[in-house]
Amino acid sequence: MAPIRKLLDILGIAPPSRQPATHDRHWHETLHLEDGRQVDYAIRLSSTRRTPRLKFDTRQGLVLVAPPHFKRPQLIALVEHHRDWVARRLPDFQRIQQEVAILPEVILLKACAESWLVEYRSTQHPTLRTHSNEPQRRLRLSGPVEDHEACRRALRRWLMRQAQRILPPWLDRLAEETALHPSRIAIRHQRKRWGSCSTTGGINLNGNLLFLEPDLVRYVMLHELCHLNHPNHSPHFWAALHRLDPRTEDWHRQLRAATMPVPLWAQY
């Protein structure tokens, strides 16, 4: 995709200016591709955006989010300019949508060596309910299970509960071993980061860490604990982390390629 600033010049659109906060607005349009396919998309104006952003979203489809001072015809022209990009990305997006729609029958949590069987039971109850059998490692969803999006949300909530059960005690043990104590520990559902450390000493851990091998989970935790003393990625930080785990470089390389073990229903 061409740089946004260059496209704004091509289309004669003024660069973003500071605007007062405004309510988001939505429009729905259709993009006609060269091969005859039609792609519905949404335009959303948001006061938090500084520049337009065109993206595929697994829930909303093709979406253009733009600052509120842009006019509707300008934004339609911007999407038209990206017609070839949309055509190239569309097959991959449709494949991901199909894979996201598949509900798991087994959930393997490598971090704690747990394998859970998942059962879906359709009932007349209006809401979806989740029941966990801890000793047998069985998870049952009952209610309107034909609503796959609701099932995925329920599975993600269950996953966060398992992460809350497993990850904070693990981090507490490492904190005792290293004498690095966070001010708080929180579990988050994050797409782009495995963990983070705030300026006040709080550590956030991604619940999807449960899908990684134990050595990688331990590395992420040590990484965030080292940020308590070194709130950056300076040489001092890496030296401190290497003292705690001499295989830091190996784990760092593996972690950069570790998105595939996380199933799509958990990512989206």
> What is the domain extent for residue 149?
106-267
Q: Render pLDDT for 41-81 as a digit per residue (tens, 0 to 9).
A: 999 999 889 999 999 887 788 999 999 999 999 999 999 99
List Cβ<8 Å contacts ≥24 apart for 137-146.
Answer: 139/107, 145/120, 145/121, 146/122
Is 74 found in the same domain as 154?
no
pLDDT at 13 over 50: no
Q: Do 79 and 119 share a domain, yes or no?
A: no
Of 61, 81, 99, which residue constitutes the final position of a domain?
99
Is the confidence at residue 231, as pLDDT, over 70? Answer: yes
Determine the pLDDT at residue 264.
84
26-41 burial: b if 16+ Cβ within 10 Å, else e: eeebebeeeeeeebeb
154 neighbors 141 (Cβ within 8 angstroms): yes
The whole-chain average pLDDT of the chain stands at 88
Report whether 208 contacts 107 (CB < 8 A). Answer: no
44 shares its domain with 119: no
pLDDT tens figures, 95-119: 877 777 789 999 999 999 999 999 9
Overall average pLDDT of the 223-229 stretch: 97
The residue from 43, 78, 99 where one domain ends is: 99
* Average pLDDT estimate for 151-170: 96
Which pLDDT band, with edges at 50, 70 and 90, does 24 fall under? low
Mean pLDDT of 122-133: 92
- Residue with token string 């879906």: 120
Residues 123 and 90 in one domain: no
Domain count, the chain: 2
Q: Which of 45, 78, 99 is the last residue of a domain?
A: 99
pLDDT score for 61? 87
